[in-house]
Every structure is written in structure tokens, then in C-alpha cells.
Structure 1
Amino acid sequence: MPVLAIGLSHHQVSSDALTQFTAAAERAGEQLREAHGVHGLITLATCNRCELFVDSENFHQTVRLARDLLGKAGVPDLAPITDVYGLRNAVRHLFEVACGLDSMVVGEAEIAGQVRKALRRSSEQASPPLHRLFQMALGTSKQVANATMLGAMGRSVASVALDLAESRHGALRGKQALLIGTGAYAGVVTADLLRRGAEVSVYSSSGRAAAFATTHPVTPLTDAELPAALGTTQALIACSGRGRTAYHLTSRQLTEARGQAAELLPVVDLALGRDVSPELATTPGIDLIDLDVVGQCTPNDHVESLERARKLIDVAVENYLQAERTRLADPAIVAVRSYVNQIVAQELGDVTAHNSPEQTALVARSLRRVANTLLHQPSVRAQESARNGELGDFMSALEEVFGIEVTGQ
């Protein structure tokens, strides 16, 4: 299995460092796709991680090149500490990620969608083995969700962050909540806020708040209305996720808008690229809950479900690797079939020249039936040899006995 994965996650670096790494990985990935021996690449970027999954002929050379390109793309300090997974480990890692076992929130609900989105976005750059790998990872994720309690207990990062905000500042029911952002994740956050009974207002610097309000029961805000809303809101949630260099909200903006407000304001920043300035962490009157805080406060106590999920992943990994090893036999099977079919075609040529069309058709059916019978056992043995790592011996035997040279490996 010629796949490897290289990247960083919430296990190693802060969300700010991960944002920087993600931008560099996009640039490095474009160059890595063009490298000799690289047949495909998929970039998986979420609020928890950024990893490049690469179909490559040379593991060590590709890892060195990837780290070199990442360093040149702007993260020389992060490139050397990237996690690297190869072959079986890369397959298992992706399956664990897709099933939510390696997320900031174990069993998180959104990860399968993010894996599917990564495959869709990288579809043109992904090789057939990577397509099959990601598709099976998604299938395994669905199986784990259906067969364990992780699907029921799995919560989003947003729900954990809002749980934390409520534990610190009381229930959101009946309170004014201001949401910054109208992207795909904003819909998830809005649904959670409404479920908790909050009254939600939405602001978007791109001017899409009004359009968002047509499909969600929220109040849209204009640029002119934002300062007043900042002054009265009882909870602020930012999730535009644009990763801009300029923050949507600064310490000065909130301080001026809130004036002498005595109540402590929870500010939940769910954007990987930060929507609010990190200075808010030390701003009086503000309780900043960002992704780093969420990661430190996430419980991972689904012991029985995790054990069951890992067993299902064990089986899925083996099934995937077996299937991929079996595919290695395809060129050998094609070579044998081509050899036999060529003999059949020669015989049919002689029959056609000396017999009627009816007689030729009868002989053709008989020859093809015999050929298929003869080909069955070699095809089965080729697949068995591939699964057992003995395909080289099988191909050597073909060349020795029949003079068949297998190409396409």
C-alpha cells in the first residue's frame, strides 16, 4: 500500500500554530503533487488537524521532500515535528480520524463530513488507491457510528465549548447570543444555540447575515448595528473560520462597545484562524473560550465504545489491505488471460478459414469455455499470492513455464 500521511494535529501544537501550518500545507501540497513518484494527494484540514495523505512510490524520499516544502512554505519550525504515518499505520490513522477517535472531542459528529469534503475537494489530485482509502474510511466511520455509542455520545467541538460556557456563566436559555459568521459551521452552532433556548443574532462582515436569516430563525445585523449588539449581548460566539490576518473583533472594540458592563462576557472562538484577538484572554470582563481551552476541557471517557470501535477498525484495516494486495495481482491475471486469449484467437482464425459461420461459432463457444476454465485457477492463485506477499514467485513461474512477462507493476 503506497500511502503515507504527514501533518500536525491538536496533539502537538496550538490552534494558532495549526492555522499557520494549514496555510503552508496548502502551498506545499501543490508542489508535492508534481514530484516524481507521487501519484496522488489529499489534504485533510479541520479545526483539529491538517494532514497530507500521499500516494507515493518512495516513502522516505517523499517525507523528506514534504518537510522541505513545508519549511520553504513558511513553517520551518513546524515541519520537523510533523507526525508521519506509513503503509498500515497511515490506513489505521485515517480510519481512526474518520471515526472520531483522534478528534479533540472523541466521537465528534462533524469529522466524517470533513473527511468526505476533503476527498471531494481533492478529487482530481487523488489517485485511485487514495479514493478507495477515503471511501472505506467513510464506510468504517458509518459502521462504527451504528455499532457503538460513539455516534450517540459524539458531540461537536461547538457543543463542548457551549457546555463549558454554560458551566462557567449559567444556562443560555433566554439570553442574547451574538454569532459572528454565516458559513457551514455557523448552521451547526446556530442549531445548538437555539436548542439551548438562546435568542440568536448573526453578523457577517461579508454581508451575508440577511441571507442566513432567511433559512435560520435568527436576527441579522448590519455593520451599523454591530457595536450596539456587542454592548448588550450575553454570549459571543465566533465561527467564520476565514483565517484572516485581521481579527473580526479586537479587545478595543469590545471594551468600547461594552463600556462599564459589570457582567463577565463569555466569548467562544471556534474559528481555526481565530475570529477574535487572543488579547481578549487578558481583557477585563471577558472570558475567552477558544479551541485550545476546549481541547484542555474535553472528557474522553467512552471506554467501552472506544474498545468496540477499535476492534471494528482492526477488521476494516485488514479488509482494506487485503483488498489492495489482491489488486496487485491484476497485471499478472491480465497477462495470463492475454496469453490464453491470443492462442484462442489464433485457433479461431484457422477454424474460420475452413468452416462455415455456424461451425465457427460452435467452436468459438467451446474454446472460450475451455479458456475460462483454464484461467480460473491461475487467477485465484495470483490473488492468493498477492495477499500472501508471494506475487513475485508467481510471476517468476509464469515467465519460466510460459514465457509470460508481466508488465504494469
Structure 2
Amino acid sequence: MQIVLVGISHKQAPIEIRERIAFTLSKRRNAMQQLISEGIEEAVILSTCNRSEIIAATSQPEKCIQIILNYLNDYAGEDLSPYFIIKEGEKAMLHIFEVACGLDSIVIGEDQILGQVKEALEIAQEVGSGKKFLSKLIREAITFSKLMRTTYAFSENPLSIGSIGVKFIKERIGSLKTKKVLIIGTGKIGCLVLKYLLEEEVEEIYIANRTHSKINRILEDHESIRGVKYEDRYEALTDMDILITGTSSPHIVIKEEYMHKLNKPLAILDLAVPRDVDPNVEKSPLIQLFTVDDLQTIVDGHLQYRYCIAEKIRELIYDEVEKMSIWMLQSQVDPIIECINTWQKQIIKETLDQLSKNSSFEISEKEYLEQLMGTSIRRVMRNPIKQLKNLNEPNKIEEYGKIIKHLFTEGSRKK
């Protein structure tokens, strides 16, 4: 079994390309089901504002990669192959560990990605596409990431798209204490933005969401925040200094044709992928528009510390990937051992059937004989199975697999 990864990220493509293959929850589920139906053994899709990547476990890497490429290009409606990254084997595993640790994010070491990786695996397991190999790999990456965050005290100075976004806006327009801010979206990004705006002691914070009931829960916890009906968002913007959006909508939620009533400057930070804000709004001389890609310019003291330790973490990742490679290699003997186990059961059944023809046994006596024979055969096969599990050379595993299959299945049938 081989691990492959095909996808796109902020390192290869700007937001206008990435948003073409962003996956909503339902589309992720459908995509994984389709990939499995096309012969890929296991698949997990990670889709965030930074990346959309399909991770697969397969016995046919080249065929698998082509299936994924075809699917992504069909999904985008055009050929985006020049933007894709393709990784196989240990390089794919290394990438997954780096992503889980936040080393491949726009904001290095950011906190959200760990939860997103965990969620991606959980969704795949629900669909049935996240099985033995990808479950093991991604769980190991999550565990390692948690250890690194604790070891290097990331949690003492948490960074996320939300925190960096607020810092970015503050650097662009100055103190936020006298500003009026509208947040659109009450998901993870919106709530993180709200948290950090409150720390900045913003004068007035407004929040809008397509589902108003979600706003009510936030208003109950924060009396100073004001709710805005989603349909009134354009009218509310005429009095705002800042707009920050982070919805999961697949469509534009701020359209250019409704943005002509502004009477003062408005800074917009669009943290969504696909984008929430029509890029054409920037035609207005009163509007400054920023997207998640602009956050790469941010300078942060804690961020500099994370860059320094990133290479240390990468060195440790190499060790984890090597362990994972050995585990995957040794797992290839599982079908061989299953073949032996099937043979054992067959021998016991045939022997019991033969004995039953010549003698009459009580149920308890038959069960005892079955247990005795099973114990005896397992004792004989214990050392050979142990030796099989210690194999770490692909060619030997394949060679032994063919021999055992011949001896324990084809040989017994000929007999």
C-alpha cells in the first residue's frame, strides 16, 4: 500500500485559483464516495482557506494519481494541473505531518489546522473512505503535532487566521479602539475574529449571519455586540470602518453593485475561500480590499520564533515518517498471515468433519477438540508468523507472500 497526495495550496496558487476547488462539507463527502467507487482504497480530503488536498492510500499509485487529477480538473471545470502538487510515499507522509504541525500554513504554526486535519479524518471515517492506513497516518500526525505544540509552547502564544487577520487590519489602519466593525459569518473564523476584536477594545462590533439564530447565541454572551439582519448588511456598511468576512458560503455575499452608498473609507478583510467579497468592490476609491493571501506579509514576534523552531520540528518529522514507513511495510504481511489463519481454520474444520463421520461427540467434546487443535497449530506457526512480521524488505514480503499463497491455498486445493 502506498500513500499519495494531490492538491493545491497557497504556495502554488493564488486565492482565485484555490477557490475553484474548495470543498463544502457535502461536496467532500460526495467526492470521497466517488473516488472510492473508482477503485481508490482509501481517501481523505482536507479543504481549508489555504489548501484543498486529497490524500489516498492505494496499491496502484500511478492510476490513483490520475484518477484524482481527473476528478479535480472536472470539479474545477478546467485544467488546473500546473498548480497541483503531487507527492508519493514518504514525501506525501512528510507533507501531511508538516501540514498538521502548521509548518505549511500561511501563518506558520497556526492553531486551526490541527482541528481541520482531525475533522477531515473524522468525515472520511464516517463516509467509509478513511480506513486502516490513512487513519493510522493522520492520527500519528495529529499526536505528533500536539506534542510539538506543547514542547515548544505554541499554546502560550496562539496564532490563527483570526488573530493574524485582526493584527493585519490594525497595522493597515491603526488603532481599532475608535472603529466600527461588522463581522459577517459566525463559524470558526468569525468567532476567532470576534475574540481578538474584543481584546482590542473596539468601539462598536456588529455581527451578521444568514441564520440569525446563531447570532442570538453570541449576543447572549456579549452584551456589547450588536446584531445585524443579513438582509440589512449593505445598509449597515455605510456606517462601518471595517468589514471582516469568513463565511462558508460557496457564493459571493458582498456584491459590488450594492456598495455605492458608502460615505467614508471602508477596509475589508475577506478571510473566506471561496471569497465572500466581489473583487470588483475595490474599484471604489473608498474601499481597501484584502484577502487571506495578504496575511503572508504580516510580521509578528511570535511568528519569528516559530520560523526558528520549524526546522527542528522537521528533523523530528523525518523520524516519525521513517517509523510510519516501517509500519506500513510490515502491514503488507497482514494478508499473508490472514491466508495462514484461513488455512488453519480449514484444517480444523476438515479434521473435525472427518472425526465426526467415524465417532459421535458431545458438543462440549467437539469444542474441546477444536480448541486443542487450534492451540497446537498456532504453536507450530507462531515462530514463522513472528519472522514474517519482522520482514522489512518489500521484495522479500512479495516473494514470501507468493510462496505462502501457493503452499497454503493453491497447494491445498490441488491436494
TM-score scaled by structure 1?
0.84
For 2:280, the equivalent position in structure 1 comes to 279
Does residue 171 of the first structure (1) align with residue 178 of the second (2)?
A: no
Cα pair distance change 1:179/1:369, threshold 3 Å: same
Output the CA distance in 1 between the equivalents of 2:368 and 2:7: 61
Output the CA distance in 1 between the equivalents of 2:408 and 2:319: 39
Q: Is the 8 A contact 1:337 1:375 kept in 2?
A: no
Does residue 32 of the first structure (1) align with residue 54 of the second (2)?
A: no
Q: Is the 8 A contact 2:54 2:68 kept in 1?
A: no
Output the CA distance in 2 between the equivalents of 1:28 and 1:359: 53
Report the CA distance between 1:341 and its aligned residue: 5.2
Q: Is the 8 A contact 1:28 1:66 kept in 2?
A: no
The alignment partner of 1:203 has SS state of strand
Partner amino acid, structure 2, of 1:111:
I
Output the CA distance in 2 between the equivalents of 1:185 and 1:319: 35
Output the CA distance in 1 between the equivalents of 2:227 and 2:405: 73
Partner amino acid, structure 1, of 2:14:
S
Report the CA distance between 1:399 and its aligned residue: 5.8
Does residue 333 of the first structure (1) align with residue 337 of the second (2)?
A: yes
Does residue 213 of the first structure (1) align with residue 218 of the second (2)?
A: yes
Report the CA distance between 1:114 and its aligned residue: 1.0
For 1:126, the equivalent position in structure 2 comes to 129
From 241, 246, 258, the equivalent of 2:248 is: 241
Output the CA distance in 1 between the equivalents of 2:17 and 2:80: 8
The alignment partner of 2:22 has SS state of helix
- What percent identity do the matched residue pairs reach? 22
For 1:371, the equivalent position in structure 2 comes to 377
Does residue 59 of the first structure (1) align with residue 66 of the second (2)?
A: no
Output the CA distance in 2 between the equivalents of 1:194 and 1:235: 14
Output the CA distance in 1 between the equivalents of 2:393 and 2:85: 29
Q: Is the 8 A contact 1:177 1:235 kept in 2?
A: yes
For structure 1, list consecutive stretches of 5 or more residues without a partner in the other structure: none
Q: Is the 8 A contact 2:329 2:392 kept in 1?
A: yes
Partner amino acid, structure 2, of 1:290:
T
For 1:305, the equivalent position in structure 2 comes to 309
Deviations 1:145-200 (A, max 9, x none): 22224444451112112111111222223532211112232212111211222232
Report the CA distance between 1:49 and its aligned residue: 0.5
Residues 80-229 of structure 1 correspond to what in structure 2 (within 5 A)? 80-123=82-125, 124-128=127-131, 129-198=133-202, 199-208=204-213, 210-217=215-222, 218-222=225-229, 226-227=233-234, 229=236
Report the CA distance between 1:228 and its aligned residue: 5.1
Q: Is the 8 A contact 1:341 1:371 kept in 2?
A: no
Output the CA distance in 2 between the equivalents of 1:322 and 1:15: 38
Cα pair distance change 1:358/1:175, threshold 3 Å: closer
For 1:22, the equivalent position in structure 2 comes to 22
Partner amino acid, structure 2, of 1:222:
K
Cα pair distance change 1:216/1:278, threshold 3 Å: farther
Output the CA distance in 2 between the equivalents of 1:68 and 1:362: 57
Report the CA distance between 1:347 and its aligned residue: 6.2
Cα pair distance change 1:106/1:359, threshold 3 Å: same
The alignment partner of 1:120 has SS state of helix
The alignment partner of 1:76 has SS state of coil
More helix by share: 2
The alignment partner of 2:62 has SS state of helix
Output the CA distance in 1 between the equivalents of 2:275 and 2:386: 56
Deviations 1:1-44 (A, max 9, x none): 33311111101111121111225985766643321x31232221
More off after superposition, 231-240 vs 343-352? 343-352
Output the CA distance in 2 between the equivalents of 1:30 and 1:347: 44
Output the CA distance in 2 between the equivalents of 1:396 and 1:13: 45
For 2:401, the equivalent position in structure 1 comes to 395
Deviations 1:107-164 (A, max 9, x none): 1110011112222223314141223222222222222222224444451112112111
For 1:6, the equivalent position in structure 2 comes to 6
For structure 2, list consecutive stretches of 5 or more residues without a partner in the other structure: none
Deviations 1:193-239 (A, max 9, x none): 11222232111244346434345412111257545532322322111
Output the CA distance in 2 between the equivalents of 1:175 and 1:395: 70
Q: Is the 8 A contact 1:241 1:270 kept in 2?
A: no
Q: Is the 8 A contact 1:331 1:406 kept in 2?
A: no
TM-score scaled by structure 2?
0.83
For 2:270, the equivalent position in structure 1 comes to 269
CA RMSD, Structure 1 to Structure 2 (Å):
3.3
Output the CA distance in 2 between the equivalents of 1:406 and 1:171: 80
More off after superposition, 69-78 vs 84-93? 69-78
For 1:385, the equivalent position in structure 2 comes to 391
Report the CA distance between 1:306 and its aligned residue: 1.0
Output the CA distance in 2 between the equivalents of 1:303 and 1:41: 31
Report the CA distance between 1:249 and its aligned residue: 4.5
Output the CA distance in 2 between the equivalents of 1:223 and 1:333: 60
Report the CA distance between 1:279 and its aligned residue: 2.5
The alignment partner of 2:119 has SS state of helix
Partner amino acid, structure 1, of 2:237:
L
More off after superposition, 351-360 vs 220-229? 351-360
Output the CA distance in 2 between the equivalents of 1:93 and 1:388: 23
Cα pair distance change 1:397/1:366, threshold 3 Å: same
Cα pair distance change 1:127/1:111, threshold 3 Å: closer
Alignment coverage as a number of residue pairs: 399
Cα pair distance change 1:168/1:66, threshold 3 Å: same
Cα pair distance change 1:151/1:84, threshold 3 Å: farther
The alignment partner of 1:3 has SS state of strand
